[in-house]
Amino acid sequence: MALSIFAQTKKLHKLGDRERLYLQVASMLHDSGNYVSFNDHEIHSYNIIITQNIMGLSDGEIILIANIARYHTNELPNYNYGSYQRLSNEDKITVSKLTAISKIAESLDISHKQKITDINIVNSQDKLLLKIYSPKDNLLEQ
C-alpha cells in the first residue's frame, strides 16, 4: 500500500528510487518492535532497525529507515528526539515525507488484515482524494 501511495504521489513529494527503497524497507520492518513489546512498539522497531547491518544500505540510510519506522504511528517526527534531531535538514524532509506516506498506509491496514485491495489517489485542487477498493468490510480503515 505504501509503495502504491508513493508512486501515485511522486509529482508531489519529488522523491526518487532510493527513497522508495527506504519506504519499502521501513514498511517491512515497522512492526518488528511488536516482538519486544506491544507497548511503544515503534520505539522498539527503531532500536531493532538501528542496530542492523543491512547489505546495500549505509549506516546513514539505516538511520533514515529506522526513523520512518519510528514515526509510522500517531506520533509525529519530533525535533527534540536525538534520532530525528541529528538528521540533516534534507534528511528530515525525506523522513517527514516518507513518514506521512507510511502513516496513510498504516491507517489503511489498521486491522492488519489487508482488506484494501487497491487504492486510487486523485489530486483535486488542494486536496488528495483516496479512493479505496475492498471486497471486505472496511469500516475500521475508513
Instruction: Give the residue-averaged pLDDT of 65-88.
Output: 78
Instruction: Give the residue-averaged pLDDT of 28-43.
Output: 72
2-113 sits in which CATH class? mainly alpha
Q: Report domain extents, the chain.
A: 2-113
Tens digits of residue pLDDT in 5-27: 999 999 999 999 999 999 999 98
Per-residue pLDDT at 92: 92
Q: Does residue 104 have a pLDDT over 80? A: yes
Measured CA to CA, the distance from residue 43 to residue 11 in angstroms comes to 31
Tens digits of residue pLDDT in 115-141: 788 889 998 888 888 888 888 777 776
How much is the pTM? 0.85
Label residues 92-131 b or e (16+ Cβ within 10 Å = b).
bebbbbbbbbbbbbbbbbeeeeebbeebebeeeeeeeeee
Measured CA to CA, the distance from residue 38 to residue 92 in angstroms comes to 27
